């Protein structure tokens, strides 16, 4: 079956620090990979995605590269801001004969940025 | 578009009562998903529909849970009877048909069963 493993937090950083949140996966077939972000009291929002090996997804200064050889999709940002404080979820989606499957999520990483 | 709409936003009920959660997906989306979020288990896929047809309900925890999608603009998740361990945030999401289409999430329903 499918599974996603990501570092669990909380991760606490100072403003302008470099961020890495690790994510590795196992999947049947060739998955698409996603990072979602959840702000307090809200639903999840797509942050970025990649659909094939070596693709780099990017948005709002965040980046992640689809590494098929290491089955990883680590999230990075060069300089975090207080407003980046949220919970970040790595996820994958596979495609079976009936079409697309639902998302399989990691447990989430709570990121806290201190001014 | 207003996005995915869920109601109610909060529900407090007593053990043994029936609970019905509602979802209106984004117009034109072919897929609808129900997820449950808890501290212990994280985000779990319960069931999803494609063109109103249930495709995979293997995540539904037990027979007390049921979901329907009578038309393209409405879905319900019902718990009968409810138990305290059902307390969680329930999210509905919808997406289009194209490859790697983004899933759009509703704001969630926070269910508390006492």
Tens of pLDDT, residues B55-109: 989 999 889 999 999 999 999 999 999 999 999 999 999 998 776 678 999 999 9
Q: For residue B44, which residues of chain A lie inside 8 Å, CB to CB? A: 105
Residue in B42, B101, B102 closest to A105 by CB: B42
CB < 8 Å to A45, chain B: 105
User: Can you give the pLDDT at residue A102?
Assistant: 82
* Residue A65 scores a pLDDT above 90: yes
The full DSSP string for A30-99 is --EEEEEEE-TTS-EEEEEEE-STT-EEEETTEEEE-BTTTTB--EEESS--GGG-EEEEEEEE-EETTE
Scan residues 22-81 of B and list those with Cβ closer than 8 Å to A: 31, 33, 35, 42-45, 48, 50, 55-56, 59
- How many Å apart are CA B92 and CA A99, to the nearest integer? 19
- Say whether residue B15 is in contact with chain A using an 8 A CB cutoff: no
Average pLDDT of span A27-50: 92
Assigned token pair, B94? 């919808």
Query: How much is the average pLDDT of A24-35?
Result: 92
**Residue B13's pLDDT band (boundaries 50, 70, 90)?**
very high
Instruction: For residue B106, give the nearest of B77, B64, B78 by alpha carbon.
Output: B77
pLDDT confidence of residue A4: 96
The answer to whether residue A98 neighbours chain B at the CB level (below 8 Å) is: yes
Write the residue in A51, A103, A105 that is nearest to B99 by C-beta: A51
Q: What is the pLDDT of residue A19?
A: 97
Sequence-distant (≥ 6) Cβ neighbours of residue B86 within 8 angstroms: B19, B64, B79, B111, B113
Per-residue model confidence (pLDDT) at position B96: 86
Distance of alpha carbon A49 from alpha carbon A11, whole angstroms: 22
Q: What is the pLDDT of residue A47?
A: 97
Contacts of B33 in chain A (CB under 8 A): 102-103
Residue A78, both tokens: 């060069």
- The fraction of chain A above a pLDDT of 90, given in percent, is 79
3-state secondary structure of B103: coil
Average pLDDT, chain A: 92
**Average pLDDT estimate for B7-21:** 97
Angle at A28 between CA B92 and CA B62, to 5 degrees: 45
**Average pLDDT, whole number, for chain B?**
93
- Could you tell me the end-to-end alpha-carbon distance of chain B, in angstroms, rounded to an integer? 36
Closest chain A residue to B90, measured at CA = A43
Pairing of β A86-93 and β A104-105: antiparallel
CB-based contact, A31 to chain B, within 8 Å: no
A77-109 pLDDT, tens digit each: 999 999 999 999 999 998 766 566 788 999 999
Residue A11 pLDDT class (50, 70, 90 cuts): very high
- Picking from A7, A96, A107, the residue whose alpha carbon sits closest to that of residue B58 is A96
A11, A112 Cβ separation under 8 angstroms: yes
């Amino acid at each position: 079956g499918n599974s996603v493993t990501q570092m669990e937090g909380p991760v606490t950083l100072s403003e302008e620090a470099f961020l890495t949140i690790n994510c590795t996966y196992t999947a049947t077939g060739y998955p698409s990979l996603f990072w979602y972000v959840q702000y307090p009291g809200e639903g999840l929002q797509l942050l970025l995605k990649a659909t094939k090996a070596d693709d780099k997804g990017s948005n709002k200064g965040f980046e992640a590269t689809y590494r098929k050889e290491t089955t990883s999709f680590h999230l990075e940002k060069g300089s975090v801001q207080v407003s980046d404080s949220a919970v970040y979820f790595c996820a994958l989606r596979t495609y079976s004969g009936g079409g697309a499957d639902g998302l399989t999520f990691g447990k989430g990483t709570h990121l806290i940025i201190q001014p | 578009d207003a996005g995915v709409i869920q109601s109610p936003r909060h529900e407090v009920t007593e053990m043994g009562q029936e609970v019905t959660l509602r979802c209106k997906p984004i117009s034109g989306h072919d897929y609808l998903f129900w997820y449950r979020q808890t501290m212990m288990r994280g985000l779990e896929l319960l069931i999803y529909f494609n063109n109103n047809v249930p495709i995979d309900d293997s995540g539904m925890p037990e027979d007390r849970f049921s979901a329907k999608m009578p038309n393209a603009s409405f879905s319900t998740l019902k718990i009968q009877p409810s138990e305290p361990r059902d307390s969680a945030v329930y999210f509905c999401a919808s997406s289009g048909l194209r490859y790697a289409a983004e899933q759009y999430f509703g704001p969630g329903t926070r269910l508390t069963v006492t």
